[in-house]
Copies of this chain bind each other. A is one copy, B any other.
Amino acid sequence: MSTNAAMAETAALVGDPARAAMLNALMDGRALTAGELAGVAGITAQTASGHLARLAAAGLLAMERQGRHRYHRLATPAVARMLEAIMTVAGSAPPPARPRRIGPADAAMRNARTCYDHLAGRLGVAIADAMAARGQVELATDGGAVTAAGEAFLQSLGISPQAGTRRAFCKPCLDWSERRHHLAGGLGAALCTRCFELGWVKRVPASRTVLVTRAGEAGLRQAFGIELA
């Protein structure tokens, strides 16, 4: 295909108000369901479905199934950069105002909770982000891997890498409230266990919610550079 035609096709996908609204809603890296995206675009589910299929076919969006939901997010950072460039030309400053948060009502639960055997919520996502940013883990949709630097870091935390295969050991899991990935698999479980052992977090009785202790705030800041304001 001609480069002109390819460019026009991609731009035309962004050039529809409904699709633009959906893409805009995904600009912060979160993943949203088809129904939610239909809502922000002000169209019915079936229309949104068609749009999302086209965006995915063109490689602008990536889709991930989780139960009976389908989570959509921008396929690559290049897509986000493209959208920013278009908004720049369009003249409107990109308003960083996040849309209203959808998810668990309980604020504490949004902040930190367990997901099966690992940590989720803002805390879980922050840990995943920090480790990815530091090159300690490499995350992909289908799996992840712990790097050499990551193994050394885990040792320093008191976690020994007894895991067999490194890939299964580090599995990304889509976060319910944050709509971003956190660490699951053997790695996620080990990190979670260690955080409890160190007294950085403690459970709220009869709930999945966990609270970050004072010692935890300091320890997390020290170990991961995380600031959970």
Contact = CB atoms under 8 A, between A and B. Distances in A.
Interface stretch (A13-21, A65-73, A126-134, A147-155): A13-21
Given A12-B15, A14-B15, A3 B95 contact: yes
B86 A11 contact: yes
Nearest to A14: B11
A74 to B, nearest CB: 10
B87 A85 contact: no
A4 B16 contact: no
A177 to B, nearest CB: 24
Contact of A12 (B11, B85, B94): B11
Given A3-B92, A17-B8, A24-B3, A78 B85 contact: yes
A6 B90 contact: yes
Interface in A6-34: 6-17, 19-21, 24
A60 interface: yes
A107 interface: no
A4 B85 CA distance: 13
Interface residues of A, number: 38
Q: How many identical subunits does the complex contain?
A: 2
A56 interface: no
A153 to B, nearest CB: 33
Contacts of A86: 7, 10-11, 82, 85-86
Contacts of A10: 15, 86, 89-90
8 contacts: A3-B94, A5-B17, A11-B13, A11-B15, A12-B14, A14-B15, A78-B85, A78-B89
Interface of A: 1, 3-17, 19-21, 24, 59-60, 76, 78-79, 81-83, 85-92, 94-95
Which 7 pairs between the two chains have the least Cβ-Cβ distance? A12-B15, A11-B14, A8-B20, A15-B15, A11-B15, A6-B90, A82-B85
